[in-house]
Amino acid sequence: MDIGFVGLGNMGFPMAARLLEAGHPLVVFDTRPETVAAAVALGAQAATSPRDVADRSETVLASLPSVQASRDVATGPDGVIGGRRIKRFVDLSTVGAAAAQQIQALLAARGIAMLDSPVSGGVGGAAKGTLALMVSGPRPEYDLVEPVLSQLGTPFFVDTKSGAGQTMKLVNNLLAATALATTCEVVVMGVKAGLDPSVMIDVINAGSGATNASRDKFPKSILPRTFDYGFATGLMVKDVRLYLEEAEALGLPTEVASAVGRLWEQVMNEEGPESDFTSAIKPLEAAAGVVVDGRSDGPATS
Ligand code: NAD
């Protein structure tokens, strides 16, 4: 299937690379020329705008960093909405149910189908093709693109209702945000009390406190102090805010989510939106006066 791809960032680039590897002709666009050039080096064709991508492809996928970017790419003046060939738009970004529904309605008015298909599994999952894709929209359109999505990971058809995949994704990410925030908090507490952080993570991973934060994020990016997991703090804050908006719109209590949200807002204020989200431990370390260093010769306290 010939495919268009807009947004070749931390997630989009490895996803696009997998589609090229699987033999799909790919037309790509990103506002950063260097990432377009890297995709062209792998065999993609460069386009000049999202609309140009949609002039040249029936199926356009997008992986974008903000709600506004998804709106612009889908329905802006140079968006895919003006494309001559496009039949379906698959948004792999996390934008929340309300934005997905608004974009879907505008595209539907032009005869373009929309699937929202946010993903989970991180940059590693994007490279290995092991993402979880949470898809909602018209079932026949899903059936058409399912073989393409299967190159990226495991697609789950959540519902025919536009935005349902987004709600599913926000639920998942609130859990991921909570697990990382809480694991940072308890490991800092343990180190302050004199425990070795590497031993703590080993024990947690063998016990009932294990989560993806302790199994993957701590060993890969926090204990070695590389802070390079590949997900920006600003994106985590976006997802937690979107969760809170949806939960509040439903009139639900958000005691835990609100506390988690405050912590992530603090991380963004102190470390910046471009920092890796594993930097969440840094404000907690500063407040405690410790450094969580899992390298064998690293200091346990400062
Ligand atoms: P990113 O910032 O690394 O990549 C976004 C890309 O979009 C960049 O290359 C940027 O230049 C491009 N872009 C921005 N505005 C554009 C526009 N108007 N037109 C064309 N290109 C534009 O972000 P990411 O980490 O790849 O995340 C993308 C989406 O996937 C987000 O919605 C994020 O929440 C979600 N997500 C990310 C991860 C992760 O681990 N990074 C995991 C799951 C889901």
252-291 tens-digit pLDDT: 999 999 999 999 999 999 999 999 999 999 999 999 999 9
Q: Ligand 1: which residue has its CA nearest to atom 25?
A: 10
Share of the chain above pLDDT 70, in %: 98
Q: Taking a C-beta distance cutoff of 8 angstroms, is the pair 233, 280 a contact?
A: yes
Q: Taking a C-beta distance cutoff of 8 angstroms, is the pair 47, 29 a contact?
A: yes
Query: Residue 301 has what pLDDT?
Result: 47
Strand intervals (E) in the chain: 3-6, 26-29, 45-46, 59-62, 88-91, 113-116, 119-120, 131-136, 153-159
Pocket of ligand 1, candidates 5, 6, 8, 10: which has the most ligand atoms within 8 Å of its Cβ, to mutate?
Answer: 10
Least confident of 59-73, 121-135, 207-221, 286-300: 286-300
- pTM for this predicted structure: 0.94
**Max CA separation in the chain (angstroms):** 64
How many CA atoms does the CB half-sphere of 272 hold within 13 Å? 3
Q: How far is the CA of 202 from the centre of ligand 1 (A)?
A: 32
* Average pLDDT of the segment spanning 227-252: 97
Pocket of ligand 1, candidates 73, 235, 276: which has the most ligand atoms within 8 Å of its Cβ, to mutate?
Answer: 235
Mean pLDDT over all residues of the chain?
97
Q: Is the pLDDT of residue 298 over 90?
A: no
Query: Residue 27 has what pLDDT?
Result: 98
Query: Residue 297 has what pLDDT?
Result: 57
Query: Residue 217 has what pLDDT?
Result: 97
Tokens of 3: 């495919």
85-94 tens-digit pLDDT: 999 999 999 9
Q: Taking a C-beta distance cutoff of 8 angstroms, is the pair 258, 214 a contact?
A: no
Predicted confidence band of residue 147 (pLDDT cuts 50, 70, 90):
very high
Q: Is the pLDDT of residue 53 over 50?
A: yes
151-201 tens-digit pLDDT: 999 999 999 999 999 999 999 999 999 999 999 999 999 999 999 999 999
Predicted confidence band of residue 296 (pLDDT cuts 50, 70, 90):
confident
Measured at the CA of 133, the angle between CA 130 and CA 137, to 5 degrees, comes to 160
Q: Which atom of ligand 1 is nearest to the CA of 32?
A: 11
Instruction: Spell out the residues 6+ positions from residue 74 whose beta carbon is closer than 8 angstroms to its own.
Output: 50, 62, 80, 81, 89, 91, 103, 106, 107, 114
Q: Which atom of ligand 1 is nearest to the CA of 122?
A: 40
Q: Is the pLDDT of residue 240 over 90?
A: yes
Q: How far is the CA of 71 from the centre of ligand 1 (A)?
A: 13
* Average pLDDT of the segment spanning 2-14: 97
Q: When comparing pLDDT for 298 and 208, which is higher?
A: 208
For ligand 1, residues with CB inside 6 Å are 6-12, 29-32, 35, 63-65, 69, 72-73, 93-94, 119-120, 122-123, 230-231, 235
Q: How far is the CA of 116 from the centre of ligand 1 (A)?
A: 15
Q: Distance between alpha carbon 232 and the CA centroid of its chain, in Å?
A: 9
Instruction: Spell out the residues 6+ positions from residue 188 whose beta carbon is closer than 8 angstroms to its own.
Output: 281, 284, 285, 288, 290, 292
Query: Residue 2 has what pLDDT?
Result: 86
Q: Is the pLDDT of residue 302 over 70?
A: no
